[in-house]
Amino acid sequence: MEIIKKKIKCIKCNSILEISFKNTDTVKHFKCPICQAKLKVNFAAKGKQGSSVPPLPPSPLPPSPPPEPDSAATEFHPVKRFKYSLFLNGMKFPLDPGANTIGRRALSSNAKVQLPVGDMHMSRAHVVINVKVDRNGNTFATLSNFKNMNWTRVNGTPIGQGDVVKLHKGDQITMGQTTFIFDAE
């Protein structure tokens, strides 16, 4: 029995996961260790001439509970994980893996992180901070301007429509006239 390692991408949080499985496995059920999404990976069997078909992408499981995974055959190897947050006036706003829309709190806001400010220069959906995992399993965060016409600056540098900026611990992000701090722990 041969143990095979493959890298797959979680469909919910886009984390890159390295999984190990037996060459006799055809389907593997598991939870993403980052976002806890229930996933299923189909592994194609080898053909008659030894060629193999690439595995299918992970797909969400049906609501029924999956069978217990064989812990000896399935291993996850997350490497360097950070917890990201925004700080504003002593308040901490945690960021989840994946896309985090940031904006001003309002009844009509659909932002994932709604900041309790009265700054009318800040949009209700102002920027998107994406928390992602690279090919080596390390997390990183990027900021992009959401579809708004208001000011966004990172460390004093204006961010235009379509610009994507990699964020670092301690970066000052200004939306409208409000500045908050990006933190990684």
Instruction: Write down the pTM of the prediction.
Output: 0.57
User: Residue 57 has what DSSP assignment?
Assistant: P
Distance in angstroms (rounded) separating the CA atoms of residues 14 and 98: 7
pLDDT confidence of residue 175 = 92
pLDDT digits (tens, 9 = 90+) for 153-176: 999 999 888 789 999 999 999 999
pLDDT surpassing 90 at residue 65: no
Q: What is the DSSP string of 58-113?
A: PEEPPSSPPPPP-TTT----------EEEEETTEEEE--SEEEEEEE--TT---SE
Find out whether 131 and 139 touch, Cβ atoms under 8 Å.
yes
Tell me the domain boundaries of the chain: 3-60, 84-184
pLDDT digits (tens, 9 = 90+) for 14-60: 666 777 777 777 777 777 766 677 877 776 644 433 334 444 455 45
Q: Which has more pLDDT, 79 or 142?
A: 142
pLDDT for res 165? 92
* DSSP-assigned states of every residue in 5-37: EEEEE-TTT--EEEEEEETT-SEEEEE-TTT--
Whether the predicted pLDDT of 81 surpasses 80? no
**pLDDT score of 106:** 86
> Who has greater pLDDT, 2 or 170?
170
Taking a C-beta distance cutoff of 8 angstroms, is the pair 55, 43 a contact?
A: yes
Taking CA atoms, 15 is separated from 7, 9, 89, 150, 178, in Å, by: 10, 6, 31, 31, 31
Closest among 13, 25, 27, 6 to 76, alpha carbons compared: 6
For the domain made up of 84-184, give the CATH fold.
Tumour Suppressor Smad4 (2.60.200)
| The residue count for the chain | 185
pLDDT score of 8 more than 80: no
